[in-house]
Amino acid sequence: TGAPDLLVVGSGFFGLTIAERCATELGLTVQVIDRRPHIGGNAYSEADPETGIEVHRYGAHLFHTSNRRVWEYVNRFTDFTPYQHRVYTTFRGEVFPMPINLGTINQFQRAAYSPDEARAWVTEQAAQITHAPTNLEEKAISLIGRPLYEAFIQGYTAKQWQTDPRELGADIISRLPVRYTYDNRYFSDTYEGLPVDGYTAWIERMADHPNITVTLDTDFFDETQPFNKLACVGTTPVVYTGPVDRYFDGVHGDLSWRTLDFETEVLPTGDFQGTPVMNYADTDVTHTRVHEFRHFHPERDHPADQTVIMREFSRAAEADDEPYYPVNTPQDRERLLAYRELAKGETDVLFGGRLGTYQYLDMHMAIGSALSMFDNLIAPHFTDGVPLT
Ligand code: GDU
């Protein structure tokens, strides 16, 4: 016992990648703490007690990456199924494939456009944006034209972000491909799949090292708890993956986050919607999407006459809510710069992950960025004495 070589605050993918690399590659002792009663952050999943169906408690997590190093790294801890994500969206009582592809366009237009004809139609509809798009709305219209934007993006985005789409970054919509083929795969990455025995088994294997101790229900900001900020910063190197504004007590104002609410239901049918994720584009439907978990694992044995669905609702996060998505308005960006300055001055504390950097990182990006932090900052510090920060 005694002080660990490194304290990691947060047991999501970023924190556990750091912990695992430090323990395995450098032989360091690593203490990981998490405020929640379980490991894995928002990637946590568990079997529904009634049906045994794996439920992603914080919304569907689909693993995909084009980064070979990340893919090889994650394959140390789990095998992956050949799952490929596809999404459909309901708009005015009709189901369309998402992301927008030739099938979506032809169904929407009741047409049989060739790829070139579809492109010409969209270009015509997009012509009103003549300058470089600077926000989500302009970017979307420049990509797909106004009619498709109004049908599939505007309402959904209003429900998900409840922020004027002209205040949102263009990068949010650039996440979605637009294709002039009938390929309706959600992701365009080289590697994709779901962990064969679930997310929690994968995550537990990352933490399963004699040098790694994970302590749950432990809040870094609660001075009565072990490994709290006051006691550790300055004495133990820290990798902090919680919200960056929270670390500095909100001195530059709060950053805005979206949180999600979920309504989970077990239904007496073997198939509720015939697909893993159904989006709802209309604003009179208050949820953004419905997840039906059995469809993520068609290879598993599931009950023939029961299914688990989860309706997802989005709203602004308040102080006690789980932050999910950085909203990143111009005001947020200004505050973030101020927090980054403070973070730079924080000796022996590194900030990482979706919350610690206030960036919309997918799982593979969080893992990739943790591997880089390990290579560029942590390993040089512990092997060659280079200052950590
Ligand atoms: N969007 C729409 N309509 C849609 C889908 C998306 O307007 O039908 C817009 C929204 O503004 C949304 C943005 O496009 O915020 C990006 O869409 P994503 O699907 O990437 O948004 P999410 O972050 O909610 O997606 C999450 C994961 C994705 C993927 C997806 C699966 O972050 O990696 O797993 O769920 O359904």
pLDDT for position 127: 79
- Beta-bridged to residue 90, according to DSSP, are 95, 280
The answer to whether residues 140 and 165 touch, using CB atoms and an 8 Å cutoff, is: yes
The answer to whether residues 352 and 240 touch, using CB atoms and an 8 Å cutoff, is: yes
Question: What is the average pLDDT value for the chain, to the nearest integer?
Answer: 95
The answer to whether residues 200 and 54 touch, using CB atoms and an 8 Å cutoff, is: no
Task: Give the three-class secondary structure for 2.
Answer: coil
The answer to whether residues 54 and 198 touch, using CB atoms and an 8 Å cutoff, is: yes
Beta strands in the chain (DSSP E): 6-9, 30-33, 45-47, 54-56, 63-65, 87-91, 94-98, 191-193, 212-215, 238-240, 257-267, 277-280, 289-292, 307-316, 325-326, 349-351
Q: Is the pLDDT of residue 32 over 60?
A: yes
Quick: pLDDT tens for 185-240: 999 999 999 999 999 999 999 999 999 999 999 999 999 998 999 999 999 999 99
pLDDT for position 171: 86
- Beta-bridged to residue 280, according to DSSP, are 90
ipTM, two decimals, is 0.93
Give the H/E segment covering residue 245: helix 244-247
Give 126's contacts (C-beta < 8 A, 6+ positions apart): 141, 142, 143, 144, 145, 146
pLDDT category at 1 given cuts 50, 70, 90 is low
Which atom of ligand 1 is found nearest the CA of 277? 36
Residues identified as active-site: 175, 179, 258, 289, 312, 360, 362
pLDDT for position 357: 97
Please state, in angstroms and rounded to a whole number, the distance separating the CA atoms of residues 203 and 197.
11
Residue position matching structure tokens 């200052």: 387
Quick: pLDDT tens for 80-123: 999 999 999 999 999 999 999 999 999 999 999 999 999 999 99
Please state, in angstroms and rounded to a whole number, the distance separating the CA atoms of residues 75 and 84.
17
CB under 6 Å to ligand 1: residues?
A: 60, 62, 87, 89, 98, 152-153, 156-157, 160, 172-173, 175-176, 186, 277, 279, 362
Task: Read off the pLDDT of each residue in 43-62 and give the average, rounded to a whole number.
Answer: 97
Identify which of 173, 291, 296, 312 to mutate to test ligand 1's pocket (most ligand atoms within 8 A of the CB). Answer: 173
pLDDT for position 130: 78
pLDDT category at 23 given cuts 50, 70, 90 is very high
Say if residue 202 is exposed, middle or buried (CB neighbours under 10 Å; 0-12, 13-18, 19+).
Answer: buried
Task: Read off the pLDDT of each residue in 240-257 and give the average, rounded to a whole number.
Answer: 96
